Amino acid sequence: MSKLDVYAVIGNPIAHSKSPLIHTAFALQTAQSMRYEALLSPVDEFRESVTAFQQKGGKGLNITVPFKLEAYKCATHLTERAEMAQAVNTFKFEDSKILGDNTDGAGLVRDIEINLGVSIDSKRILLMGAGGAARGVILPILKKNPSILAIANRTPQKAQQLQQQFVAYGDIVSGGFMEFSGENFDIIINATSASLNDALPELPASIFAKDSLAYDMMYGHEPTRFLVFAKQNGAGYLADGMGMLVEQAAESFFLWRGIRPETADVIAQLKIGT
Ligand code: ATR
C-alpha cells in the first residue's frame, strides 16, 4: 500500500479549524492519496513543531493564528504575494526548502469575482483595516486593476504606511474612515478584526450604494454588525468570509497537488453547518 502524503493546519488554538474538513473534501473529490490533520503547536515552539512535522514526512502546512508572521520568517523561499503580505499561510516542503505562500488574497479575489460574480476591474474598492488581514489581500486586489483602492483605518497612519508600501502596484489613497464621507464604493471589504469583538468601525453611511457589495472577511452564525450596517445603509449585496476561507484552501491545495478542486459544494456544505 502506498504511503499517504500528510498535510496539516498548524495554529493555537486549532480545534475549531474547518481546514481539515475542507481539505478532506477536496482530497476525496480529486481522488488524491493524502491525509490532512490539525496540529496544535505551543505558542513559543512554532519552528520546532514545523521541523518535527517535516521530519515525519509532512508535505505541507496551512498556518493560522497566531503564527502567520513567524511562518513568514521561517520560510526559506517566498512567493511575491507572501513577500508583499509579510505573512505566510501556506508552506510547501521540498527537501530542505520551505516555500512560503499567502493564498488569502487570491481566495478573497476568487470569491468576489467567481463565486459572487463581481468583477474588480475598474471598480472603486474600499478596504477597511491596516493589520495583517488587510495587508494580505492588497496585492491580489491591485492585480485585478481596480480604478482606485482606498485603504481606511481607525489609525490612519497605518493605512498610509500600506499606501506607501504598495504605491508601485496601483492607484491607492488612504485615511481614517470619516475621510471617505460623501464618497461611495463598488466593493467595501471589512478586513478589521472589529467583527471578532462584535464591534463596528465608525463608518460613514454614505460609502454604500445600491449596487455596492459589502464583504466581511469574518463569518459566523449571524451576519456581522458590519453587514447589518451595510444593509441598513443601502448596500445591495452582502457576503461573509466563508467563501474566502474555502477559496484560500483551494489555492493551497492547488499549490501542493497541482489540481484545483471545485469549491461550490464545499462552501454550501459549510454554510449549512454554521
Ligand atoms: P489582523 O491580523 O486580523 O489584521 P491586526 O493586525 O491586529 O489583526 O489588525 C487589526 C485591524 O483591525 C487594525 O486595522 C485595527 O485598527 P487599528 O490599526 O486602528 O488598531 C482594526 N480594528 C480592530 N478593532 C477595531 C474597531 N473596533 N474599530 C475599527 N477598527 C478596528
Q: What is the residue with the minimal CA distance to atom 16 of ligand 1?
A: 154
Counted domains in the chain: 2
Task: Kindly state whether residues 233 and 263 are assigned to the same domain.
Answer: no
Q: Which of 69, 154, 174 to mutate to test the pocket of ligand 1 (most atoms within 8 A of CB)?
A: 154
The beta-strand segments (E) located in the chain are 5-11, 34-40, 60-63, 77-78, 90-94, 97-101, 124-128, 148-152, 172-175, 187-190, 213-216, 237-239
Instruction: Name residues whose C-beta falls within 8 Å of residue 52's C-beta, 6 or more positions apart in sequence.
Output: none
Q: Could you report how far apart the first and last alpha carbons of the chain are, in Å?
A: 37
Closest atom of ligand 1 to CA, residue 155: 19
Task: Kindly state whether residues 96 and 134 are assigned to the same domain.
Answer: no
Task: Kindly state whether residues 233 and 119 are assigned to the same domain.
Answer: yes
139 pocket-lining for ligand 1 (C-beta < 6 Å): no
Task: Kindly state whether residues 127 and 233 are assigned to the same domain.
Answer: yes
Task: Kindly state whether residues 167 and 187 are assigned to the same domain.
Answer: yes
Task: Kindly state whether residues 214 and 111 are assigned to the same domain.
Answer: yes
**Is 41:65 a contact under the CB 8 Å cutoff?**
no
193 pocket-lining for ligand 1 (C-beta < 6 Å): yes
Task: Kindly state whether residues 97 and 139 are assigned to the same domain.
Answer: no
Q: What is the residue with the minimal CA distance to atom 8 of ligand 1?
A: 131
HSE-CB for 51 with a 13 A CA cutoff: 5
pLDDT for residue 274? 65
Task: Kindly state whether residues 248 and 208 are assigned to the same domain.
Answer: no
Instruction: Specify the CATH number for the domain of residue 206.
Output: 3.40.50.720
Catalytic residue positions? Answer: 68
Closest atom of ligand 1 to CA, residue 192: 12
**Is 14:38 a contact under the CB 8 Å cutoff?**
yes
212 pocket-lining for ligand 1 (C-beta < 6 Å): no
* Structural domain containing residue 20: 5-102+243-273
pTM, 2 dp: 0.96
Q: How many Å lie between the centroid of ligand 1 and the Cα of residue 190?
A: 10
Task: Kindly state whether residues 122 and 214 are assigned to the same domain.
Answer: yes
Task: Kindly state whether residues 231 and 254 are assigned to the same domain.
Answer: no
Task: Kindly state whether residues 220 and 251 are assigned to the same domain.
Answer: no
Q: In order along the chain (274 residues), what is the average pLDDT of each group of 10 residues?
A: 86 96 98 97 98 96 97 98 97 96 98 98 98 96 98 98 97 98 97 93 96 96 95 98 98 98 96 79
The owner of cell 454554510 is 271
Instruction: Specify the CATH number for the domain of residue 39.
Output: 3.40.50.10860
192 pocket-lining for ligand 1 (C-beta < 6 Å): yes
Task: Kindly state whether residues 160 and 204 are assigned to the same domain.
Answer: yes
Residue type for position 140: P
Cis check for the bond before 146: say yes or no (omega within 30 of 0).
no
Closest atom of ligand 1 to CA, residue 154: 19
